[in-house]
Structure 1
C-alpha cells in the first residue's frame, strides 16, 4: 500500500480555510482574509513560498525563525529519511540515545563554558525546564524577567511574558515572578538584592520589538547575577544558531550565561526540539541521586528524528557558512534601511544584528503626514505598520509582519540563506511602499479604515 500524504494535501488544500474555521481557530482565518494573506501557499523551498498559482514570495518570517536553513533543505530531508530507513530503536525509555549524545556534544563544542544538555520538545518547554532547574539549583523560587519579553505561552513561560495581551484571561500565573525594565541594571539589582531570586531570564535581543541591549547591559547582568547568587539564563530560542551573525547572540557582548536556551532553527523546521545548555553544577542539583534520574524528563525530547534534525542543521550552518552569511547580509540590509530612514520621516529607527532586524515607524514631523499617521493610529494603535506590510505582500510578494501587538516595528526574520538578489528585492520593495506612504493620507487611511472595520466586526457577520 502506498500512503500518499502529498496527494491528500493536493486534493483537499482548497478547503483549508473552511476546515480551520470549523475545527480550529476561526479568528486566525478571519485575520488572513481581512489582510489579504489568504493566497493558499502550496509549496516551500529555501527562503521562498509559492502560492496555488505558482507565484513566488520571499518569506521574512521563516515560520517565526524555525527555518534558519530554509524550507525543505536537502541535507535535512536526507537526514530524516535515513533515520526512518534505518529502523533505529527510537525512544527506548530504559536506554539512552546515541544521537542525543552526539547532538549534545556538538552543541557544547560551540558553547564550551557549559557542560550539560537537556533536550525538550520546544522553546517553551525549554523555558519550563530552566525554571525548574534554576529553582532546584538555588533553593530559591523567585524569577525575574523583562518588560516586553517573550519566552513562550505555556503556563510557566507565560508567567515570564512581558506583554499583557498574552497574559490576560488565563487567571493566576506562576507566583514569585518579578518584572523589571529591559536595559535597567539598577532595577535588576533592586530585584536581586533580597537574594530570593533563582534566575534572571533575558533575551539578548528582545524579539518583540527587536529591542537591543545597551553595550554594557549584558555584562552588567552577569556581574549582578554572580554577586547575588542568581542564575543568568539567556533565552537564545530566536537569537541563537547564527541568527545574529554569531552562533549565540551573547557572543557579541562576551558574556557567559549559566544556562542557554535553544530551539527554533535547531529543528530544521520539521521536527520540534528544544535544548537547555547548562553548567554541570546545576544538573548535579537536579539529578542528584539515582532515584532522581527521571525527576525531570520529556517523553519525545530525545527522539531520533529531532536529534537528526539538530545534527543536520548544525552541519548545514557550518558547511554553507550561514552564520557568516547572516552577518554579511544583515549588515547590508541595516545599511540600506538606515539610508532609507534618512530620507523618509516616518521611519523612526533601524535596529538589529545579523538577520534579526526591526524597522520602527513613528509619528512624522510634517503636518500632512502627521494627519495621515494620527488618522490611522487613532483607529487602532499599531495599525500604521499594516499599511506597510499589506502592500509589501500584495504588490511585492514579501511576507512580513509587525514585531508584536500594537507595535510600530516591522521585524525581518528571514532564513539565513538570504542572497544578494533577495536583499535587493527587500530594499526595493520597502523603498516603494514607504515612498507611497509618504504621498499623503488618502490611500493609507482607506486601507486602515477597511482593516479596522473587519477587525471589529463580530464573528458570523
Structure 2
C-alpha cells in the first residue's frame, strides 16, 4: 500500500514541481508583458473590444482592486458602480473568500474524481436551500447561462412540453437554450433556429393565459427585475403568474442570476412579493465571490426526481467542472460573509439612500426622467428635455442612435470623476448602477456629487460633454 506524501512535499521549495524545465512565474510574466494588454486582446481575442474602449475613452489600465474600489498605475482611486456586471457582490478580494480559496488549495483534495461524493457540494447546497426553504435540491454549474440552461432542460423534461415563455426585453444568457429566451433581437440575430419559445410583455397576465391555454408550455422564465433597463415586475404579477402556470401544470422559473444574493435588498428578488415560490431558481454571479465561476439551479424534489429517475440517468445532465472544490469553497465563504456582515441589510439601506438622493434630482434636471429599482440595482433614465436648446441637441443624438446621451453621461463619470458605470442595454437611455453590496454612505456621496456635476455640465451646455456627443454621433453614423 502506497502512502501519499504530505501536501507540502509534493513540490519543490518554490511551490512548483521539480524538474529540469523553466518554472512558470506569473508575476514576472505580468511585469514583462502586462503593458501589452490591449494589443494582445485586439490581436488574439475580440478585436472590437479594445476598439470600443478606445473610442469612448475607457481604455484604462487598472492595477489593483479591493472592495468597491480599484486603482490605476498612477495610484488614482476609482469607484466601481458596475461590480463586474454583478459578479463582485462582496467587492474585490474579500479576505474571507480569499482565505477559503487558499485553504481549499492547501487541502489538496481529491477533487473532480466524478466517482465519489465530496462534502463541499452538499454543504453548499444545504446552505443555499436555507434561503429558499420551499426548494429541495441543487445542480451546480459554472455560469448564469448554464444555470438557465439547466432550468430550461429540467422544466421541459419534467412537464413533457417543449415551449418556454419569456418576457420582452429579458436577458437570460447567450448560449443556445438561454438565447432562445433572450428578449433582445440583437443577440438572437443570425443564430436561429432556437428552441420553441414565445415572448410575452412583462406583467401581461392576459398574454400569459392565452399562451398557457395552448397546452404546450413547460414554463415561464422571468427576471423579478430585468437587468436591461432595470424594469421591475408589476406588483402582484409573479404571484398571479405562478397561480396561472400551476393551473396549467407549467412551471415558474425565477432568474436570479443578477438579482439574487442580496442585490435588491432581500436575499432573492422574488421574495419582495408574498406567496411567490418558484419551481426553479437560477443563481450565479455573486456566488463566486469574484474568484471562481459557479452557478446553481435550485429546484423542487419532484422535478429533480423526474430528471434523475434511475441509475441509468445519473449523468443525464452534468458539467465537467461543476461542483469543483474551489467553486464550492468560494460559495460557502460568500454565504458566510453575507450572514456575518449583514450584507443584505446594507444593500437595502444603502440602496434606499442612493435611490432617494437621485430621485430628488428629477425636478432639478429636465434631462432626467426617472430613477427606479430596488436595493443596489438602480436604473437612471434620461428623457426628452423641454427647453428648445437642449431639445435640439437631444433630437440630434436620437436621430443618430438612441442611447448616446446615456453614454455621454457614463464617459465623464469615468474620465472626470473616476466612477465606472454602464449603459443598461443597447439603444437605451438608461444607466444601471449595480455596485458591490459593500458600498457605504461615503461612496453614495461621491457618486451623487459626481452625477450632479455631470448633469450640471449637460444642462449648462458644457462644451466637452456635447463635443463628445458629436464624436459619438459620427461613430454611430459610420456604423450604419
CA distance in 1, matches of 2:94, 2:242: 37
1:241 is aligned, of 261, 273, 276, to: 261
Contact residue 372 and residue 444 of structure 1 kept, 8 A: no
Residue 4 of structure 1: how far off its partner (Å): 3.1
Matches within 5 A, 1:149-168: 149-168=170-189
Q: Please say if 1:355 is aligned against 2:376.
A: yes
Q: How big is the shift at 1:214?
A: 1.1
Q: Distance in 2 between matches of 1:211 and 1:371?
A: 28
Match of 2:216 among 192, 196, 202: 196
1:10 aligns with 2:23: no
1:137 and 2:158 equivalent? yes
Residue 187 (1) aligns with residue 245 (2): no
Q: CA deviation at 1:7?
A: 3.0
Paired with 1:151 and 1:326, the residues of 2 have a C-alpha distance of 23
Q: Contact (CA 8 Å) 2:458, 2:466: kept in 1 or not? A: no
Shift of 1:455: 5.3
Tell me the residue number matched to 1:258.
279
Counterparts of 1:361 and 1:413, CA distance in 2: 18
Distance in 1 of aligned mates of 2:117 and 2:265: 34
Greater shift, 148-157 or 369-378, is seen at 369-378
Q: Aligned ranges for residues 52-201 of structure 1 at < 5 Å?
A: 52-174=73-195, 176-201=196-221
1:361-400 map, 5 Å? 361-400=382-421
Q: Give the Å deviation of 1:203.
A: 0.2
SS at match of 1:343: coil
Partner of 2:5: none
User: Match of 1:286?
Assistant: 307
Counterpart contact for 2:397–2:473, Cα < 8 Å: no
Q: 2:44 matched to which residue of 1? A: 23
Which structure 1 residue ranges, 5 or more long, are not aligned?
Answer: none
Distance 1:10 1:167 in 2: 40
Partners of 1:38 and 1:221 in 2: CA distance: 44
SS at match of 2:71: strand
Q: Aligned residue pairs: how many?
A: 457
- Counterpart-to-counterpart distance in 2, 1:456 and 1:21: 23
Query: Residue 68 of structure 2 corresponds to which residue in structure 1?
Result: 47
Contact 1:97 1:302 in 2 (8 A): no
Cα RMSD, aligned residues only? 1.2
Give 1 or 2 for the bigger CA radius of gyration. Answer: 2
The alpha-carbon deviation at position 12 of structure 1 amounts to 1.4
Instruction: Decide whether the 8 Å contact of 1:372 with 1:440 is kept in 2.
Output: no
User: 1:408-441 deviations in whole A, cap 9, x for unaligned?
Assistant: 1100000000011000001111111011111137
Structure 2: distance between partners of 1:441 and 1:373? 14
Indicate the SS of the match to 1:238: coil
SS at match of 1:110: coil
Q: Deviations over 1:135-181 (max 9, x none)?
A: 1100101100010000000011011100111111223222x101111
Tell me by how many angstroms 1:73 deviates.
Answer: 0.7
2:430 to 398, 404, 409: 409
Q: Distance in 1 between matches of 2:336 and 2:34?
A: 34
**Residue 453 of structure 1, CA deviation:** 3.0
C-alpha contact (below 8 Å) 2:137/2:298 kept by paired residues? yes
Residues 1:333 and 2:354 are matched in the alignment:
yes
Listed one character per residue, the Cα deviations across residues 255-297 of structure 1 (whole Å, up to 9, x for unaligned) are 1100110000001111001100000010011001111111111
Unaligned 5+ residue runs, structure 2?
Answer: 1-13, 16-23
Deviates more, 1:2-11 or 1:248-257: 2-11
Deviates more, 1:186-195 or 1:65-74: 186-195
SS at match of 1:329: helix
Name 2:453's counterpart in structure 1: 432
Q: TM-score, normalised by structure 2?
A: 0.93
Deviates more, 1:7-16 or 1:87-96: 7-16
Determine if contact 1:371/1:441 at 8 Å carries over to the other structure: no
Scaled by the length of structure 1, what TM-score is found? 0.97
